[in-house]
Amino acid sequence: MIIDLDNWQELYSTIKKNKLRTFLTGFAVSWGIFMLIFLLGAGKGLENGVRDQFKGDAVNRIWIGSGETSLPYQGLKPGREIIFQNDDYDYLKTSVSGVDKLAARFNIWRNTNLSYKSNYGAFDIACIHPEYELVEVLEMEQGRFLNRSDLLEFRKNGVIGMAVKDALFKEEDPIGKYMNVAGVPFKIVGVFSDEGGDRDMRRIYIPISTAQRVFNYGNFIGSLNVITNVSAAESEQLEQDIREKLARKHSFDVKDDRALHTWNGLKDFARFMNLMKGIQFFILLIGLMTIVAGIVGVSNIMLIVVKERTKEIGIRKAMGATPNQIIRMILFESILITSFAGYIGLVLGIGLLELIRPYFTSSEFYFMNPEVNLTIAIGATLFLILSGAVAGFIPARRAVSVRPVEALKDE
């Protein structure tokens, strides 16, 4: 579409003569794109906040905890306590397909004192398999995590969180140093950080085999954590397989929810993500409908413009103006209004998101780092320009159909 200086001057004159109408038309379009960008950014902020709630733990895990039976089973009365032991770990690892990694854990609650030299404090003491590193999604800041040799050789090694290091070792390097764990000296081989927060870093991890032997826990384990690479739908079947096998091994009704507690991270994460997709789609639909409403307004205004300029259009045609020139004149005004107003709405929407982002850098309110996808923003702008062309084309076609003789008679 070739636009010369005369077209610009004519457009300027038309807009100047109808300032309020042009402003209101542009405002409707600008508001539509602004709301689309802001709502999409807010939806993304909500999604980021939900994702952040899961970042401290692996989402592809199934947690299994023991409980107490509440239903009778094959002559056995309810009220029996289910206790996991080492053979349960071995049994699940070898008998259930879909288990990629398996880690058991129990905590020491009787004496939680940790000390180094004259510094001491109460912290969590978690007794684990080395694979538990995948469950908590830990990041090693110094040294290494526990390994299979620590487990098999019953080594008195420990890995501490940053909060423990800061409280007990201060500025001193803890790697290779010995600290008392519930009265027993353990060698520190690593320091970790955990995105789950300060509570998760107020912890020391020690080999479960060592803890069972040193602290007289026998073969006891508290809970089991399965890491799997199956889909969310497949994880539900895996969860059911685990429940059935443990129900058979410990002689309780598979439907007894109080005998065995499970939490499926994959299922929960998939449920939240599907909810977020639904919210994003709903937001996109609302935004697009708002834009369409603005475009309909542009089309109606252009129809009014054509009606007002009927006599002028007739004169142009009588003087030799071609249909393409008439269409170009109407389309130019329509596209310019929608493009300029859309750009203003785009800038204001992105600007507002950037303005509020520093106040939502954590997921305290399940809302974090609102942002809009640049591809979607550009796509929405292009859609707006195309819609502006369509909105102007209908009135332009009407203008072309005006016969010069009838137009000259129009009052």
| Mean pLDDT for the stretch of residues 289-311 | 71
SS3 content of the chain, % helix, strand, coil (to 5): 55, 20, 25
Segment of 95-99, 227-231, 251-255, 381-385 carrying the highest mean pLDDT: 251-255
- Return mean pLDDT, the chain: 83
* Token code pair at residue 118: 């004259």
43-53: average pLDDT: 79
Q: Is 92 in contact with 99 (CB distance < 8 Å)?
A: yes
Query: 355: Cβ–Cβ under 8 A, 6 or more apart, which residues?
Result: none
Distance from C-alpha of 260 to C-alpha of 223, rounded to nearest angstrom: 10
Per-residue confidence at 66, pLDDT binned at 50, 70, 90? Answer: very high
Higher confidence at residue 364 or residue 233?
A: 233
- What local confidence, expressed as pLDDT, does residue 350 receive? 86
Terminal C-alpha separation, the chain: 31
Distances (CA, A) of 260 to 56, 78, 242, 267: 24, 13, 10, 18
Spatial contact of 113 and 132, defined as CB atoms under 8 Å apart: no
pLDDT for the residue 317: 66
Highest mean pLDDT among 1-10, 163-172, 392-401: 163-172
User: Contact 222/103 with Cβ under 8 angstroms?
Assistant: no
pLDDT of res. 9: 63
Higher pLDDT, 400 or 109: 109
Which tens digits make up the pLDDT trace of 302-339? 666 666 666 666 666 677 667 677 667 777 777 777 78
Please state, for a pLDDT cut of 70, what percent of the chain lies above it.
83
Rounded mean pLDDT of 126-138? 91
Q: Which pLDDT score, from 0 to 100, does residue 307 have?
A: 67
Q: How far is CA 119 from CA 9, 206, 293, in A?
A: 81, 20, 68
Is residue 214 a contact partner of residue 199, using CB atoms and an 8 Å limit? no
Alpha-helical segments (H) within 215-362: 232-250, 265-308, 310-318, 323-356
Three-state secondary structure call for residue 369: coil
DSSP-derived pairing of the beta strands 157-161 and 178-181: unpaired
What average pLDDT does this structure show over 256-272?
A: 89
Q: CA 61: distance to chain centroid?
A: 18
Residue whose entry in the numeric block shows the structure tokens 């199956």: 230
Q: Are 342 and 384 in contact (CB under 8 A)?
A: yes
Q: Which residue has the higher pLDDT, 119 or 196?
A: 119
Domain ranges of the chain: 5-54+270-409, 108-217
pTM, full prediction: 0.71
pLDDT tens-place string over residues 375-410:
877 787 777 777 777 777 766 676 666 666 555 555
Q: Report pLDDT digits (tens) over 234-262.
A: 899 999 999 999 999 999 999 999 999 99
Report residue 360's pLDDT band, with 50, 70 and 90 as the boundaries. Answer: confident
**In this predicted model, what pLDDT tens digit does every residue of 170-200 receive, in sequence order?**
889 999 999 999 989 999 999 999 877 778 8
Q: Which two tokens stand for residue 82?
A: 């289910």
The residues, ordered by sequence, that sit 6+ positions from 273 with a Cβ below 8 Å of its Cβ are 47, 50
